[in-house]
Structure 1
Amino acid sequence: MGDISAERRRILKSPPAELVAEAAATPGGSVAEIDRSLIGDPNGYVPGEAVQGVWLVGQDGKLTGEFVENPNYGPPKDDFSKLTDSGHWLGWLAEQPAVAVRASIEEILNTQVAGANLEWIKILDEPRYLTGGRPDPGDPDQLIVTRAGIALSFALSVTSPGHRRETLQGVFSWVAVALDQPGGPKRQVWFDLRADLDWAEAELRERIYRVGRPRDADPM
């Protein structure tokens, strides 16, 4: 990557117009330096690891000359913590929910573009859950789960042969029904780009009752 210190000295000596403008717009704040080789659209979602550090800005809106390194700078990594650390019961989804979700999304991307490579994916918000069931005849205080669904807000990076890197955002939803049936559950997933999580949660309330009907194919 060359001599980063020398490059930053050069920037301070003759800062680019966009850096000057950003500093002027954030007096007393900071301006991030982003490694554009790690991202798709610099105006879209930027993972924290792609930020090399920040330039500190004085109250006068000018660069102070101080640069604070980002200790997490480097190739972006998956982050499923909002899913796996939620404490919500996910036994219906898979033994390893993060692995299952990643594999399903990767399959969707490859269906759309052969050879697509999912570089990383991050779950951005607390998942939205739906769970339905019926009382257990042997114990009225217990619920037998019959159907369940989840909606996950995501950002991801994908590359494909002959195409540049793209950063996508949206909501991934997964529904499973007939969880109490010996024949095994029926499943369906949705991949809604640029979708809002509130919208997806409302859709989930409808979708959870559509899966398994004769007109619904089971893509899983």
Structure 2
Amino acid sequence: MIDPGLIGDPDGYVPGEAVQGVWRVGEDGKPTGEFVPNPRYGPPEDDFAELTESRHWLDRLGEQPAVAVRESIPGILDEQVPGAVLEWVKILDAPRYLTGGRPQPGDADRMIVTRAAVALSFALSVTSPGGRREVLQGVFSWIAVGLDRPSERKDQVWFDLRAGLDRAEADLRERIHLVGRAPEPGTP
């Protein structure tokens, strides 16, 4: 049983906390009539475990990578719908990473990281100023270049709705070279 007040579209992403419970089904495939409540039922909460437990180098996002990602999303949403309010974010799969660099002078086994990227598959809940709730899914990508020259560092994020993680990982390979580059003449 799903609490419709905690989700947008019942055919879309449903966070585990929105499930009030389940009815047991017997070995014969028929309901037993026994209802098992969900101990986690309640307002959905952020879940960045897939990011924070990845053990990947995330220093470029600061001491708290989940906070850095979480704090960047409301601005993106507000650009699309002024006054939109982010309720919760869940990272759904293991992140995809891309890191580039150059050899450390005098040490062929070490690299100086010059650019890095991460793509995160997400589901999030946002409410419009009118109170309408939408649960969105997609991929959030963050690319940072100039990591070896902090005064010249450039960051850019992408928010690709309804995109898959495989596609976003492929996009990282192109996008990581676009950040910080001057636009071609005649392009906006």
The TM-score with structure 2 as length reference comes to: 0.94
Distance 1:36 1:183 in 2: 48
Aligned-residue RMSD, C-alpha? 1.3
The TM-score with structure 1 as length reference comes to: 0.80
Q: Please point out which of 16, 39, 53 is paired with 1:48.
A: 16
Larger RCO: Structure 1 or Structure 2 (Cα < 8 Å, ≥ 6 residues apart)? 2
Distance 2:17 2:41 in 1: 4
The DSSP-based 3-state class of the residue aligned with 1:210 is coil
Q: For structure 1, which runs of at least 5 residues remain unmatched after alignment?
A: 1-32
Instruction: State the percentage of identical aligned residues.
Output: 73
- Give the equivalent residue in structure 2 for 1:209: 177
Q: Please point out which of 144, 153, 160 is paired with 1:176.
A: 144
Distance 1:46 1:182 in 2: 41
- Give the equivalent residue in structure 2 for 1:17: none
Q: For structure 2, which runs of at least 5 residues remain unmatched after alignment?
A: none
- Give the equivalent residue in structure 2 for 1:146: 114
After superposition, the Cα gap between the structure-2 partners of 1:172 and 1:182, relative to the gap in structure 1 and judged at 3 Å, is: closer
Report the alpha carbon displacement of residue 165 of structure 1 after superposing the two structures with TM: 0.3
Offset from partner CA, 1:26-82 (integer Å, 9 cap, x none): xxxxxxx11111111011000000011100123444321111111111100000000
Distance 2:29 2:52 in 1: 42
Rg larger for: 1
- Give the equivalent residue in structure 2 for 1:86: 54
- Give the equivalent residue in structure 2 for 1:20: none
Distance 2:148 2:175 in 1: 18
Partner AA of 1:56 in structure 2:
R
After superposition, the Cα gap between the structure-2 partners of 1:182 and 1:118, relative to the gap in structure 1 and judged at 3 Å, is: closer
Offset from partner CA, 1:76-99 (integer Å, 9 cap, x none): 000000000110000012221111
- Give the equivalent residue in structure 1 for 2:104: 136
Report the alpha carbon displacement of residue 138 of structure 1 after superposing the two structures with TM: 4.2
Report the alpha carbon displacement of residue 184 of structure 1 after superposing the two structures with TM: 3.6
Distance 1:66 1:162 in 2: 39
Please state if 1:105 is matched with 2:73: yes
